Amino acid sequence: AQTVTQSQPEMSVQEAETVTLSCTYDTSESDYYLFWYKQPPSRQMILVIRQEAYKQQNATENRFSVNFQKAAKSFSLKISDSQLGDAAMYFCAYRSLPSGNQFYFGTGTSLTVIP
């Protein structure tokens, strides 16, 4: 089974600054999707950003961007101009295309935004 590793249990960032959350994954597949999800305290998990493995261009969504390094199996999330509302648990997830519809999640990184 694929594994997703988030090595930073907790991170903090000053408001308006930039922070990068790390994620690595292990797979032998060449076709897959990677995701970052955000889970605010006591609220529902929402999709932040998605990256298709076949695309070399890094995905961006407003203040959120990724650094996708396919050979290194690395998928980091950069949050620019951090806002108080960015404080949440962030999960990296992997979805295999050949192997069905299972999503594999990392253990999460808790992000604190300091005013």
Partner 1 sequence: DTGVSQDPRHKITKRGQNVTFRCDPISEHNRLYWYRQTLGQGPEFLTYFQNEAQLEKSRLLSDRFSAERPKGSFSTLEIQRTEQGDSAMYLCASSREGTSGKETQYFGPGTRLLVL
Task: Establish if 108 lies at the interface with partner 1 (CB under 8 A).
Answer: yes
Task: Establish if 64 lies at the interface with partner 1 (CB under 8 A).
Answer: no
Contacting range for partner 1; rule: CB under 8 A; set: 62-70, 71-79, 80-88, 99-107: 99-107
Q: Are 36 and 51 in contact (CB under 8 A)?
A: no
How many residues make up the chain in this entry?
Answer: 115
Q: Report how far residue 65's alpha carbon sits from residue 44's, in angstroms, rounded to the nearest whole number.
A: 21
Choice between 13 and 53, CB closer to partner 1: 53
Of 30, 55, 102, 114, the one binding partner 1 (CB under 8 A) is: 102
* Cα 105 from chain centroid (whole Å): 10
Kindly state the smallest distance separating residue 16's Cβ from partner 1, in Å. 28
Q: Report how far residue 86's alpha carbon sits from residue 76's, in angstroms, rounded to the nearest whole number.
A: 16
